[in-house]
Structure 1
Amino acid sequence: MISILSVVAAALAATTLTPAGTPVESGADDIRAYWTSERIRAAVAAGSPAADEPPDGVKWGFGPDSVRNVGRLFMTLPPDKTGKEREATCTAAVVESANRSVVATAGHCVHLKEVGGWMKRLLFVPAYDNGKKPYGSYTAESVGIAPAWSEAEDHKADFAFVTLGKDEKGRTVQDVTGARKPHFGPVPGPKSALGYPFVKPYDGETLQHCTGPTSAVTDARLAGGEQLKPCRMTNGASGGPWYARTAFQEDVQVGVTSSRPKEEQFKDVAWGAMFDGAARELHAAQERK
């Protein structure tokens, strides 16, 4: 869930963009080389305050192969005032696409005004687990976010679709991990949110999840989104998939974790940005890459 905590939340990585998306930085080998095991373990969700609350998200216990399309997303934030770049992390998931190379994540994981705009060195590691990369790694080639996010940071549009390059063996990510179908519209009923929360009591090394009933968000900050309760996953879970089952018994991805306000009444609530018509357009543009 968005580094699930702050409404104005924390951020991640990638490069250039507009509604249709534009090519990201090149140099897959250089990006992989940058992400040493030390940097991966040190990556923190941007803007993430520490939290010592008991977790409401629990470790995923249904076997790694069932959700091997879900993984950690690593990136570097733009240089700060001292010129220093910082590492950050979110969650992303492979969605079905014509080019078999698209993941969905949160908009703030690729672009955030608070930290200076576009992220860089975006690297996706599916089924990440305690430093292991069982299905390789993939760098971003193109990113798509909605103008409502890039211009106004409207949390209702806090989603992004990223086209990835091939892995070290020349394979597309969907060929390796499989994918869930994205669904652009309401799906009633319970949902599951998955993510790699980093801030205490978590450490970002294992996949966590929350499952339960959802309801519409009425708060103006994410009106039109949905909320899942109880769920207290922390920063790093941002961008993680929200899965639901349709009336036709099809498991689909319906949105991504966006944020959790700091107010006490929201301490055990996760907010999700649901896929809508704008998300459909972004996905269509990225799968043509």
Structure 2
Amino acid sequence: MKRILSLSGAAVAATALLTSGLAGTAQAGTTVHHDKLVKPTEAQSVALYWLGDSGANLKRSTQFSGPSGNLDSASVKKVVSTGGAAASTAAGSISATSSSTTSTSKNINLPKTIGKVFFLDGDGKPRWCSATSIVSTYKNLVATAGHCVYNTAANTETMDKWVFIPGYYQGKAPWGLYVGKTAYTHYDFSVYEDYDRDYAFVTVYNGVELDSTATKTAGVANTGYSLGSTVGAQGFAWNQKTGTAHFAFGYPASAHPDGNKPYTGVTAKWAYGKTSGKTPVSSALKIDEQITLKAAFTWGADGGPWLIKYSNTKRTGYIDGVTSLVVDSDDNDRYDTLSSAYFDGETKSVYSEAAASWSGNVF
């Protein structure tokens, strides 16, 4: 497994200069990096940006197609067998929680926790990725890919106007909109753009919705409910064996490289299979240890959760991966493989700090 670099002397000084210009906080030699996304005083305007005008900005958003929004699929066409990532500590898990509300969604076979994160990319364009609610102390945590939170193209900041909408459908937020407060990533991802750590855990404020007199210029109102109390939260697992059966969820939307476009991104989809120790080949993304799952998802599914021990009645399981890349492994211009960072003890450290962090209402 990769280890955190032990920096000293000139390296420490250089790192200090690099991180001093970032919004986030991390110290050399540590695992966790966190960035403030939206202050409480800004959260209302962020929510209105997405919900106002009948969700116009939500509807015109497009999938965020790969790392930096512009991944050349040729750079990860092949996968090689590496035997999988080694577990540095004992395997562990934290159980899911159920919601206190009943579902009215027609997609009864899909978990209520699944949704989309929306944000503005480095060019100011509205984009989205897949994500899910995950268990935490204050029922306020979202799991997604690191590249759906951190602006790797600029390597200076997180995405702007970041929000999560569980159960999103055509401009609607059936269970509220949740503005991101703080993003927690692995230090190696946020500083070195190491895609073996392409995951993020984001605390969100309690839900908001347009007020009862909503117009194009109206404000938003607090629902008073946390994310987890509204839709529940998936469990979390780390240091699991490869070769384990998983359900992967997400909103695939892009066309395959050959132009075939089987998905619209309108509703969540699922795939099922066993993980492999094979790893995408991409020196540019510093990938050595990712794991893979056979699935024909396209971009838009990135950030979506991989769940073990998934209960089709409870609609919950344990997250031990999130989609990082979609890969054409046999060079036939059709995506056939998903990849994820391996969730190990260091992932657990990032998760634990995020899961213990409070957020509350936006105002």
Report the TM-score when normalising by structure 1.
0.80
Query: Is 2:199 aligned against 1:159?
Result: yes
Take 2:113 and 2:304, find their aligned partners in 1: how far apart are those partners? 11
Query: Is 2:152 aligned against 1:113?
Result: yes
String of CA shifts for 1:251-276, please: whole Å, max 9, x gaps: 31111000024562673111112321
Q: What is the RMSD computed on CA atoms of the aligned residues?
A: 2.6
The aligned residue for residue 42 of structure 1 is: 60
Take 1:184 and 1:145, find their aligned partners in 2: how far apart are those partners? 16
Q: Is the 8 A contact 2:249 2:269 kept in 1?
A: yes
String of CA shifts for 1:122-143, please: whole Å, max 9, x gaps: 1100011233321111001111
Cα shift at 1:17: 5.6
State the identity %: 26
The aligned residue for residue 300 of structure 2 is: 236
Q: In structure 1, what residue type is equivalent to 2:48?
A: A
232 and 49 in structure 1: CA distance in 2 versus 1, 3 angstrom threshold: farther
Written as runs of structure 1 = structure 2, the 5 A alignment for 1:1-289 is: 16=24, 18=26, 19-26=32-39, 27-36=42-51, 37-46=55-64, 47=69, 63-64=107-108, 66-78=110-122, 80=123, 85-115=124-154, 117-168=157-208, 169-187=223-241, 188-200=243-255, 201=261, 202-221=263-282, 222-229=287-294, 231-245=295-309, 251-261=317-327, 264=331, 267-289=335-357
Q: Secondary structure at 2:349's aligned position in 1?
A: helix
Take 1:185 and 1:159, find their aligned partners in 2: how far apart are those partners? 15
Take 1:237 and 1:21, find their aligned partners in 2: how far apart are those partners? 24
Q: Secondary structure at 2:341's aligned position in 1?
A: strand
Q: Secondary structure at 1:145's aligned position in 2?
A: strand
The gaps in structure 2 that reach 5 residues or longer are 1-22, 27-31, 74-104, 209-222, 256-260, 311-315, 358-363
Q: State the aligned residue count.
A: 257
String of CA shifts for 1:68-110, please: whole Å, max 9, x gaps: 01110000113x4xxxx11110011111111211111000001
Q: Secondary structure at 1:166's aligned position in 2?
A: coil
The gaps in structure 1 that reach 5 residues or longer are 1-14, 52-60
String of CA shifts for 1:215-254, please: whole Å, max 9, x gaps: 112445433222111x1222221110001129xxx93111
Report the TM-score when normalising by structure 2.
0.65
Bigger Cα Rg? 2
Q: Is the 8 A contact 2:180 2:202 kept in 1?
A: yes
Q: Is the 8 A contact 1:16 1:24 kept in 2?
A: no
Take 1:209 and 1:20, find their aligned partners in 2: how far apart are those partners? 31
